[in-house]
Structure 1
Amino acid sequence: MKRLTTILAAGAALCALSACAYNESLGRNQFLIVDDSALIQQADAAWAETLRTQRTSSDAAANGRIKRVGDRIVEAAGLTDRRWEYAVFVNESPNAFVLPSGKIGVTTGLLGLVRNDDQLAAVLGHEVGHVTARHAAERYSTSAATGLVLSGVQGAAGDYAQAAGAIGGLGAQLGVLLPFSRRDELEADRLGVDYMQRAGFTPRESIALWRLMQAQRQGSNPEFASTHPSDSTRIAALEQYIESRGW
């Protein structure tokens, strides 16, 4: 009982220190115990390390292309208050990532896959959407809170601490962290389409992009065990949203 009281007290303290912030772009509250500014230093260090350890392309046309399209998306998102950096990484896997400090990486595999700048804008819009949505800070906050609760559970489990930690960790991953990530991806898809439209790109090309991704993907985890929604889920959600907006 004493240990349970300690767990509950820790949870109450966490709630007291945290804030539920309303994100207008998402239309919902977010659980945040850190903000993006607290992650900037880590993000910049991760970017520098990635540039140091991964091969980047010196292709002027490819680099100019992602900067040209990216800058239009950033302006449409209202995020010109920070200095954005882009890099093309030599990797056959079609992928892209964003850091909250305003860094976007795109692979040569992705540039080889997209058929036009509209589809590239769909990718970059999605990545910028993660920044607007403050998903990095939200994921960090959720992970930290989950870790606190699980450490308390393990402490209360006595001799079964190791088993409880393994089971609890798996349950938290499948029941909390991964579903949140899938939600984040769909939110970023929707925001990205908004930015595409504002920047003068064709929103429906985002659907064409995901159909290309679906066609080239050889296999994937079942959706319930994946950090990303299935391609079919994303396509259906995008079709519904774009139709609702009359685009």
Structure 2
Amino acid sequence: MKLKNALGAFGALVLLAACEVVPVQNGPLPPASPTQTSQPRLSADSAARSFVQVVRRVEPIAERECRARTTGVNCDYNIVVDDRPGQPANAFQTLDKQGRPIVGFTLALIADARNEDELAFVLGHEAAHHIAGHIGRQQQNAMAGAVIFAGIATLSGGDANAVRTAQELGAEVGARRYSKDFELEADALGTIITARAGYNPLRGAEFFARIPDPGDRFLGTHPPNAARLDTVRRTAAGL
């Protein structure tokens, strides 16, 4: 089973899998702004039940898309809920030591959802990160950045500490270099997964109107909300 134990009571919703994970890929949602709301939040019980229903419908579609679009990739998603106190509204995709994809939701994100379409879109988005191989690509970019920056520091006559610092900076820059592209790729494929699971991706992406816009910052990790909404609209129009 892909969902680690979900009960009707919201506070009893599940927790992180026991296996160790490698937290590489961040999720699509910065903390929501409490002043920007269009629809009321679901009740605690409704949010919990909606989340369970969404997982049951979306996970098989995500697994099917994963198997159709990849070769030799573990497509058995493990959906978990992070119930640690104080965690902001967020979702993430990572891998365990065996390469099994993990998609995690914080309780705050589930509680902030206005409808099942939003939960479905976020799950589809995170599942898409795995299908597109974004963790491996991000690691490759980080390694390339570390090598380049370390080489520059060495040629500039830097000592061991300077080279080490350059490696760390280069890894960070490299990891961020294509992160915006990765997010838009995940938005596009997430739109397809959401729609094929029977949910409305356009309605699901309405949460972009409630969260702070990251703008178009240099080396920022997320693209502007307008670009993400445009990606969803164009992809949905092509279905």
What TM-score results when the alignment is normalised by the length of structure 2? 0.65
Does 2:199 align with 1:224?
A: no
Letter in 2 for 1:68: Q
Deviation at 1:65, TM superposition (A): 3.9
Deviation at 1:113, TM superposition (A): 2.0
| Distance across 1 between alignment mates of 2:191 and 2:214 | 24
Please give the residue correspondences for 1:200-239 in structure 2 after superposition, counting only pairs within 5 Å.
200-213=198-211, 217=212, 220=214, 222-239=216-233
Q: Which has the larger radius of gyration?
A: 1
Aligned to 1:31: none
SS in 2 for 1:204: helix
| 8 Å Cα contact 1:63/1:88 also seen in 2 | no
1:7-54 per-residue CA deviation (whole Å, 9 max, x = no partner) reads: xxxxxxxxxxxxxxxxxxxxxxxxxxxxxxxxxxxx941379xxxxxx
Higher helix share: 1
| Distance across 1 between alignment mates of 2:166 and 2:158 | 14
Aligned to 2:6: none
Q: For residues 133 and 71 of structure 1, do their structure 2 counterparts lie closer, same or farther at Cα, with a shift above 3 Å needed?
A: farther
| Distance across 1 between alignment mates of 2:22 and 2:160 | 37
Among 55, 58, 72, which residue is 1:70 paired with?
A: 55
Unaligned runs of 5+ in 1: 1-42, 49-58
Please give the residue correspondences for 1:86-101 in structure 2 after superposition, counting only pairs within 5 Å.
86-89=80-83, 90-91=85-86, 93-100=88-95, 101=100
Please give the residue correspondences for 1:174-185 in structure 2 after superposition, counting only pairs within 5 Å.
176-185=174-183
SS in 2 for 1:82: coil
Deviation at 1:116, TM superposition (A): 0.7
Letter in 2 for 1:228: H
Please give the residue correspondences for 1:1-247 in structure 2 after superposition, counting only pairs within 5 Å.
44-46=19-21, 65-77=50-62, 78=64, 79=66, 81-82=75-76, 84-89=78-83, 90-91=85-86, 93-100=88-95, 101-159=100-158, 176-213=174-211, 217=212, 220=214, 222-243=216-237, 245=238
| 8 Å Cα contact 2:61/2:193 also seen in 1 | yes
- Residue identity (%): 26
Instruction: Tell me which stretches of 4 or more aligned residues in structure 1 moved more than 6 Å.
Output: 160-169
Unaligned runs of 5+ in 2: 1-17, 24-43, 68-74
| 8 Å Cα contact 1:92/1:107 also seen in 2 | yes
SS in 1 for 2:181: helix
SS in 2 for 1:158: coil
1:87-145 per-residue CA deviation (whole Å, 9 max, x = no partner) reads: 14344622111113222221222122221111100111000000111101111122122
Aligned to 1:22: none
Q: For residues 60 and 47 of structure 1, do their structure 2 counterparts lie closer, same or farther at Cα, with a shift above 3 Å needed?
A: farther
Deviation at 1:62, TM superposition (A): 5.2
| Distance across 2 between alignment mates of 1:44 and 1:194 | 30
What TM-score results when the alignment is normalised by the length of structure 1? 0.63
Question: How many residues in Structure 1 have an aligned counterpart in Structure 2?
Answer: 188
| 8 Å Cα contact 2:76/2:101 also seen in 1 | yes
Q: For residues 64 and 102 of structure 1, do their structure 2 counterparts lie closer, same or farther at Cα, with a shift above 3 Å needed?
A: farther
Deviation at 1:173, TM superposition (A): 5.0
| Distance across 2 between alignment mates of 1:148 and 1:155 | 10
Deviation at 1:165, TM superposition (A): 7.5
| 8 Å Cα contact 2:59/2:77 also seen in 1 | no
